[in-house]
């Protein structure tokens, strides 16, 4: 049967196959250039992202209201603060994508960088708060002290925001491309810290829950929830870390090439 099928297929010369592959590549390249240069396609993509983030923000707000109505006596718990921050960070992203046409029109480049990078910092604070919530559960289950966890969370976030604000202030004073590289390296390090947090405490909580019998539906659901959220958040921060690192290396190489080319002219 294999011989019959192979003999029935038309055999193209290698040159024709290469030409066909080249034609497909040119067609895809032309399609991408058309999409990349089309304001209508770009507006559609940005407005779709804005709508998606607005939907996630609305869901977080609804969850916050539901929890507050169900247990108002507990005050601002970690879970409520998480939903509030999730509402804020996705709302900010929705506004930035919705007003994308005005984001790059500032006279000073630092304002554009603030609008583009601030949601990433808020995203880091939001999901490291989830890591804090899991760490508190894990420490309580193991009879370990939990008092220093919140202090560590506040200290790490305060340090990151202070460093980022200092970078923004310096870029506002002097537009230095080297500082932009430092900023991207800093964002990559921040993403790496977040993925480590999810790997350590998400993994610990997941394997701790697996040791208990999971006959009950609620415990099985919690195990699935912790495992899924840990895998998704770890993957997201890992991809962000890799993409920013690759972009940083490209910018660094292009800066080095430009530097050596200018030296040759002298």
Mean pLDDT, all residues of the chain: 79
pLDDT tens track for 72-129: 777 788 888 889 999 999 999 999 888 887 877 777 778 888 888 888 888 889 988 9
Largest Cα span, the chain:
77
118 CA to centre of own chain = 12
Torsion of CA 119, 123, 124, 127, to 10 degrees: 170
pLDDT band at 255 (very low <50, low <70, confident <90, very high): low
pLDDT, greater one: 84 or 261: 84
Q: Residues 181-197: what's their mean pLDDT?
A: 86
- Per-residue pLDDT for 48 more than 80? yes
How far is it, in rounded angstroms, from Cα 229 to Cα 48? 24
Confidence at residue 110, expressed as pLDDT on a 0 to 100 scale: 81
């Amino acid at each position: 049967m294999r011989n019959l099928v192979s003999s029935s297929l038309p055999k193209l010369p290698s040159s024709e196959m290469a030409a066909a592959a080249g034609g497909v590549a040119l067609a895809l390249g032309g399609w991408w250039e058309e999409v990349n240069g089309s304001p209508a396609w770009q507006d559609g993509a940005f407005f779709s992202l804005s709508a998606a983030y607005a939907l996630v923000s609305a869901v977080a707000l609804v969850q916050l209201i539901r929890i507050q109505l169900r247990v108002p006596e507990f005050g601002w718990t970690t879970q409520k603060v998480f939903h509030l921050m999730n509402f804020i960070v996705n709302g900010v992203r929705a506004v930035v994508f919705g007003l994308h046409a005005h984001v790059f029109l500032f006279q000073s480049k630092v304002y554009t960088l603030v609008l583009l990078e601030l949601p990433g910092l808020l995203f880091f604070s939001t999901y490291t708060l989830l890591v804090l919530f899991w760490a508190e559960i894990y420490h309580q289950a193991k009879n370990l002290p939990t008092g220093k966890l919140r202090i560590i969370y506040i200290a790490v976030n305060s340090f990151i925001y202070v460093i980022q604000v200092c970078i923004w202030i310096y870029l506002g004073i002097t537009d230095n491309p080297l500082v932009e590289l430092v900023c991207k390296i800093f964002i990559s390090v921040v993403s790496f810290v977040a993925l480590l947090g999810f790997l350590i405490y998400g993994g610990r909580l997941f394997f701790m829950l697996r040791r208990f019998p999971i006959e009950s539906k609620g415990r099985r659901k919690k195990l699935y929830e912790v495992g899924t959220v840990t895998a998704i958040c770890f993957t997201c921060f890992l991809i962000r870390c890799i993409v920013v690192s690759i972009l940083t290396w490209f910018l660094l190489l292009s800066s080095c090439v430009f530097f050596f080319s200018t030296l040759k002219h002298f």
